[in-house]
Structure 1
Amino acid sequence: MGVELPVSTMADMVGVAGAALAPLAKLLRHELLTRDVIHADETSLRLLDTRKGGKSCSGWLWAYVSGERSGPPVVCFDSQTGRALRYPEAWLQGWRGGTLVSDGYSVYKSLADNDPGITSACCWSHARRGFASLYKASREPRAAMALRKIAGLYRIEKLIRDRPVEKIRQWRQRYSRPIVNDLFAWLEEQEPCCPPDGPLNKAINYILNRRDELSCFLGDGAVPLDNNICERAIRPVVMGRKAWLFAGSLMAGNRAAQIMSLLETAKRNGLEPHAWLTDVLARLPEWPEERLAELLPLEGFTFSG
């Protein structure tokens, strides 16, 4: 249209929209906390620190995604200044409990250790990466063997993907458990033969140190083999921060996290994000507070007009 707007004006407009959408983002978080399976991951995001003359500092964007078999997809982001236990602990406060699927970052296991209602499940996609990198670099035969064994788990998952949860559990008990047990036993045999500081030893112990968490999927058909669903939610942020460089402040980071939560959830539920956002922002000023849940970008959302 040929209209040039100052960056500050556009930032103010985003701020107004973010404030209007904040109650919906809060409701979306409450919806996620009703689910039995939640995925979690985090990625770095630079923040401007207004207390230090506008210098940038390290920040983190935490992602939480509902399990694929726990209802309509929900994605929530949370912007924080750190990566310590207290951040996911505070965000997940009020969760009725269930299975938390994550990579091998120790904070997620600590959450489960501190709360008997939470079970920690680890990601087999992460578990195979050490072997994949080693095989790519040196064609290490033991890395190739580990990759073949893990590939067997994914072949079974492909066969049972569309089955009911209980059938998935039964298949995993019958076919996946022997593969997992065989892999653990084989890794225990290989570990003493590896240089203690070498990449093969590191890849082996990554798995052996997380046996319980990597076995969690065997007993629950609703728990997936990996955390890829959460990594896919973070991918646009990883790509986008090359252009964003940083968030203007922690408040701006929180505002962006809330908006991204709603838009990513809209996409996961088959709604065109821009169309949903335009429709909802037009309706919010006159919309009854007790009916806010009707505007969430979930299955069943109805566009006006």
Structure 2
Amino acid sequence: MAGYTGIVLADGYGAYDALARAGPGFTLAHCWAHVRRKLIEAEPHYPDPCRTALELIGQLYAVEREVPVLPAAAAVETAPDLLALRSRLRHERSRPIVAEIQRWALAERALPESSLGKAISYLLGLWPGLTRFLDDPRIPLDNNRTERGLRGVVLGRKNHYGSRSTRGTHVAALFYSLIESAKLCGVDPKRYLLAAIRAALADRTAVTLPHTLLD
């Protein structure tokens, strides 16, 4: 990802922090779903404090549901009204909820190596990235959609034991990206691949991306 500029929404994997420090155009946001999972894991042992935090996170998602979903095929810049609404709701409704979550995390006492202690440490350690969505309406609360898109990669890896070569890995990454992009655009992947192949056969310099097939 050297030279990448834009927003990356990720879990707490440390490599992303290094990339964010290396590039001024690299904006790192963190995923609330991963925080929620940590709390769910701790909930059987610490039901009351975890329930409080999970209810607050649930309120964040409730605010997000008040904004119509932006079609995946559309660039966010084409929906200024939706972005303005999301920005306003986040400022008026989400920001106080986030402040309450922070107060909860700072006030709660737990052993560092306990499941609750680890969940709180995870949350506070990622706090700048977790709150970045408040100032940028383009950033979603989580990267669940991306993780669902990677499910095919994981299943394929188990079934055909990887790509067997560096070139094979690059080709697989290219096709996985194009196919998942087609799905996000609402374009049938088979239809897209056929159109791209036919265009390339007619003109070797042709580049056909999924969104160009939208009616």
> TM-score interval w.r.t. the shorter chain?
0.7 to 0.9
Report how far residue 274 of structure 1 moved: 1.8
Partner of 2:192: 276
Deviations 1:102-138 (A, max 9, x none): 1111111222222222221100001111111122x33
The corresponding residue for 1:141 is: 48
Runs of 4+ in 1 over 6 A off after TM superposition: none
- Identify which of 150, 174, 178 aligns with 2:96: 178
- Identical pairs, percent: 32
Structure 1: gaps of 5 or more residues: 1-87
Q: Counterpart of 1:99 in structure 2: which amino acid?
A: I
Structure 2 residue ranges without an equivalent (≥5): 70-80
Aligned residue pairs total 204
In structure 2, C-alpha distance between the alignment counterparts of 1:220 and 1:98, rounded to whole Å: 12
Is contact 2:67–2:86 with CA below 8 Å preserved after alignment?
A: yes
Counterpart code for 1:149:
L
- The amino acid across from 2:192 in the alignment is W
Question: What does the per-residue CA deviation read over 1:190-242, in whole Å, with 9 as the maximum and x for residues that have no partner?
Answer: 1xx21121110000011111111100000111111111121121011122222
Bigger RCO of structures 1 and 2 (CA < 8 A, at least 6 apart)? 1
1:166 paired residue number? 84
2:26 and 2:195 map into 1 onto residues whose CA distance is: 37
Is 1:129 the counterpart of 2:42? The answer is no
Instruction: Describe the SS at the equivalent of 1:101.
Output: strand
Partners in 1 of 2:48 and 2:183 — Cα distance?
42
Residue type of the alignment partner of 1:188: L
- What SS class does the counterpart of residue 162 from structure 2 fall into? coil
Say whether the 8 Å CA contact 2:33–2:142 is kept in structure 1: yes
TM-score, length basis structure 2: 0.87
Range that drifts further, 123-132 or 256-265: 256-265
TM-score by length of 1: 0.63
Higher strand share: 1
Provide the rounded CA distance (Å) in 1 between the counterparts of 2:191 and 2:25.
39
- Match for 1:194 among 99, 110, 124? 110
CA drift at 1:98 = 3.0
Q: CA deviation at 1:264?
A: 1.9
Deviation of the 1:139 alpha carbon: 5.6
Q: Say whether residues 1:154 and 2:61 are aligned partners.
A: yes
8 A contact 2:42–2:50 mirrored in 1 = yes
Match of 1:238 among 129, 151, 154: 154
Q: What amino acid maps onto 1:147 in structure 2?
A: L
What is the Cα-based RMSD across aligned positions, in Å?
Answer: 1.8
Correspondent of 2:180 among 239, 242, 264: 264
Alignment of 1:226 onto 2:142: yes
Residue 296 (structure 1) aligned with residue 209 (structure 2): yes
SS at the partner of 2:129? helix
**Cα distance in 2 between the residues matched to 1:227 and 1:296:** 23
Contact residue 233 and residue 264 of structure 1 kept, 8 A: yes
